[in-house]
Amino acid sequence: MRISTANTYQSSLDALVDRKASLDQVEQQLTTGKRVNRASDDPASAARAERALASERRAVSSQRAVDASSNAMALTESALGDATELLQSAREALLAAGNASYSDAERSVKANELAALRQQLFAVANRSDGAGSYLFGGQGANQQPFVDAAGGVQFHGTSGTTQAASGEELPLTMDGQPTWLQARTGNGVFETRAVTSTGSAWIDPGSVTNPSQITGSSYSIQFTVASGATTYSVLKGGLPTTQANLAFTPGQAVQIDGMSAKISGAPANGDRFDIVPSTASLNVFDALDKAVADLNTPGRTGTQIQQTNSSSLSQIDSVLGQTISARSAVGATLARIDNVTGRLAALKLSSQTARANAEDLDMTQAISDVGNQQTGYDAALKAYSMVQRLSLFNYLSS
């Protein structure tokens, strides 16, 4: 078969171009550090790398939402911590105000202290995250959640919470109504009240002695004083019970269906104390307002001071417990955020590893390939130069 000089030239040129293209490809891979720079380099690996990249970006996007929730919950936990300290200060002020040696003027000073703490607490309840959202606004976090109206503090937020768009139930806000306006009255199970107290008796908040005996009914303790003897009778729902005309000993606890309440002092004839089921209706601001009003009331008897202070302390303890519970719930959310952050970090690392396995270059192999391709290209270049010298004109000129 006859092979023309032009065909020889073209074959040598094609080989040279192929070698140059191969050399350029491995040099590009070495420069970028990637084995797959275009989908045409390895379609299957390029698809795997693209899926891994999408997974990595989803993890990064979710982490941004998780970070937003973490920041909001950290601010909320700090606010609840401040509220706890303020309520503890209010409790200390109430304890001091119960000192029997205090005058009305001294109790008024404590009332002013409580009023100042109440204003600070109101500011904490309306604290924002610095970006226009209120921490305790619930789903209506774009407006101030609590308004100090004539009838007391009202919640103008929206119940519920705003969730971060992370695929996890992570809040950006907290529903402030249960935290600030819905603590349980009394000791959390029942509430004691002095309905009629013309003597020198007062009742404490009471305690639960046997939870299984709690009936959820309302009770009245009515006193009778005759011939120097003081007795009491217990009514359940307004009806007489077996506890009738029992001798009363000051300071001794009265036991009623798993509940215990101590009545101190000397009751007068017709005095009445009630025990009613606790409800989730205690407003922290109303509790402080009532305490301030009581302390500012002059001319009260020692019994009245003891009774109102005992009731106020019970209410402060209840709202303090509610605040601590809310803070614990936020702490649990922050712990869950840490777990989610760990899972997202693991997912991101896994995606990065999968992407690297699909498209990254083996540098040792790449350096070897560059050397081989360079040798092949030099050989092809030398062969082409030799073919060029086979021209008849070159032969004649020599």
Confidence of residue 235 (pLDDT cuts 50, 70, 90): very high
pTM of the model: 0.77
Q: Is the pLDDT of residue 344 over 90?
A: no
CA gap 133, 20 in Å, rounded? 62
Cα(first)–Cα(last) distance of the chain, in Å? 29
With contact defined as beta carbons under 8 Å apart, do 248 and 224 qualify?
A: no
Sign of CA dihedral 284, 290, 295, 300: negative
CA gap 271, 200 in Å, rounded? 10
Per-residue pLDDT tens digits for 276-312: 999 999 999 999 999 999 999 998 888 889 899 999 9
Per-residue pLDDT tens digits for 214-233: 999 999 999 999 988 999 99
Per-residue pLDDT tens digits for 255-269: 999 999 999 999 999
What percentage of the chain's residues is helix, strand, coil (to nearest 5)?
55, 15, 30
197 or 82: which carries more pLDDT confidence? 82
Confidence of residue 181 (pLDDT cuts 50, 70, 90): very high
| In the block, residue with structure tokens 């200390």 | 92
Confidence of residue 237 (pLDDT cuts 50, 70, 90): very high
Strand positions, DSSP E, the chain: 146-149, 152-155, 190-196, 202-203, 207-208, 219-226, 229-236, 239-240, 246-247, 253-256, 259-264, 272-277
- Centre a 10 Å sphere on the Cβ of residue 105 and count the other Cβ atoms it contains: 8
CA gap 284, 322 in Å, rounded? 10
pLDDT at 220: 96
Distance, C-alpha 249 to centroid of its chain: 49
148 forms beta bridges with 153
247 forms beta bridges with 231
CA gap 165, 173 in Å, rounded? 13
* Arithmetic mean of pLDDT, 360-382: 62
Q: Is the pLDDT of residue 367 over 70?
A: no
As a residue count, the chain comes to 398
46 or 317: which carries more pLDDT confidence? 317
Confidence of residue 360 (pLDDT cuts 50, 70, 90): low
pLDDT at 161: 85
With contact defined as beta carbons under 8 Å apart, do 320 and 90 qualify?
A: no
Q: What percent of the chain has pLDDT over 90?
A: 53
pLDDT at 379: 65
pLDDT at 372: 64
For 318, counting Cβ atoms within 10 Å of its Cβ (0-12 exposed, 13-18 middle, 19+ buried), the class is buried
CA gap 278, 322 in Å, rounded? 14
| 3-class DSSP state of 130 | coil
Q: Is the pLDDT of residue 92 over 90?
A: yes
> In the numeric block, which tokens belong to residue 27?
């040099």
Per-residue pLDDT tens digits for 71-91: 999 999 999 999 999 999 999
Nearest residue to 83 (alpha-carbon basis) of 284, 280, 279, 282: 284
pLDDT at 151: 83
With contact defined as beta carbons under 8 Å apart, do 66 and 164 qualify?
A: yes
